[in-house]
Structure 1
Amino acid sequence: MGAAVSGAKNQTTDDWQAGGKIFGGYNIDQNWAVEVGHSRFGKEDFRATAAPQFPDAQVKSSRTYIAGKYTMPVSADLSAYAKLGASYNETKTSFMSVNRTNRDTGAYAALGLQYALAPNVALVGEYERYGKKKDVGAKADVVSVGVQYGF
């Protein structure tokens, strides 16, 4: 199990959006595992009209995945891994009093590194891809850095 900080470019505002990620899984053997995770990106205000300087719209995104994970040791403390699975993606936009939710499912893939800080604790960093290109909200390409604890 673990927690991370995720970052993705926001397609609507053309800047980076940070969010939190939680994940957990089960190691089948030394190399293979199954993992689930959820990333949620913060609410971001933007201007949808040329009205005064007050934002009149908001967007927020979340991503959920389930994947198989293959880990390969690089050295005593460093491992590389790849994940492949499926994702459920949700983007909510609010413009004045109109709310709209876009949902899609698609392929999920990730490449990452984990560095053992202690026998059960590792620092993880990864690049993730959640399905197809997004037109609004957080982009499908996400980077994460976090901590993982193994039982």
Structure 2
Amino acid sequence: MKKLMIALIATAAVAGAAQAQDTGKAYVGAAAATSKNSTLDSNKADGKLFGGYKFNEQLGVEAGWTNHHKTDVGPRGSTEGYGTYVAAKYTVPVNEQVGVYGKVGVSHNERKMTNNLGQRFKNDDTSGYGALGVEYKLNQNTALVAEYERYGKTKDFGARANVWSAGVKYGF
């Protein structure tokens, strides 16, 4: 979580400095995210928050946090966790309203499992991050986004590394 906060502060600082020069555009967004739970082999919807800065129409940087709420896994107990990322983003405009993009960066992920005996297990890793997505501009500042993300390595328990999300972003 500390790494995400540092990344968001750095992004905001860069965005603020660049906006003073009247170049680029900062944005924030929220999305519904879903991934399968490795322990239960079922999908669950969670939330995602992200923010970034576009240096120009193609290049940008983005940081985000995806929550994996507590999930009851029956007689085995429960799992919970989160994933964070910082990534470079490259967008290819298809037309005036639609763009496709890819992101490459680093993610930090944490998963916790508590069994019915009260034992706690924790797994965390810092590894690669990648995403492919599409954006549909509703107007000058607002866009709908949908993407597939990969948060590092395959997980032993809790939410899997593959995440699908759909949401909205607002540019300043």
What's the TM-score, normalizing by structure 1? 0.92
Question: What is the SS of the residue equivalent to 1:71?
Answer: strand
The letter of the residue matching 1:20 is: G
1:77 matched to which residue of 2? 97
For the pair 1:59 / 2:79, whether they are aligned, the reply is yes
**Which runs of 5 or more structure 2 residues have no equivalent in the other structure?**
1-27
1:97 matched to which residue of 2? 118
How far off is 1:133 after superposition? Answer: 1.0
Q: 6, 10, 15: which one pairs with 2:42?
A: 15
2:166 matched to which residue of 1? 145
Deviates more, 1:28-37 or 1:78-87: 28-37
The letter of the residue matching 2:134 is: L
How far off is 1:61 after superposition? Answer: 2.1
Corresponding residue pairs, total: 144
Q: Distance in 2 between matches of 1:130 and 1:56?
A: 24
How far off is 1:108 after superposition? Answer: 0.2
**Which runs of 5 or more structure 1 residues have no equivalent in the other structure?**
48-54
Question: What is the SS of the residue equivalent to 1:11?
Answer: coil
For the pair 1:29 / 2:56, whether they are aligned, the reply is yes
2:150 matched to which residue of 1? 129
For the pair 1:5 / 2:32, whether they are aligned, the reply is yes
How far off is 1:56 after superposition? Answer: 5.3
1:50 matched to which residue of 2? none
The letter of the residue matching 2:52 is: G
Question: What is the SS of the residue equivalent to 1:60?
Answer: strand
Write out per-residue CA displacement over residues 9-58 of structure 1, whole angstroms, 9 at most, x where no aligned residue.
Answer: 101011002110000011112211010000001211123xxxxxxx4511
More helix per residue: 2
Q: Which stretches of structure 1, 4 residues or longer, exceed 4 Å deviation after superposition?
A: none
For the pair 1:108 / 2:129, whether they are aligned, the reply is yes
The letter of the residue matching 1:91 is: R
What's the TM-score, normalizing by structure 2? 0.81
Q: Distance in 1 between matches of 2:54 and 2:76?
A: 46
Please give the root-mean-square deviation of Cα atoms over the aligned residues, in Å: 1.0
Q: Distance in 2 between matches of 1:5 and 1:57?
A: 25
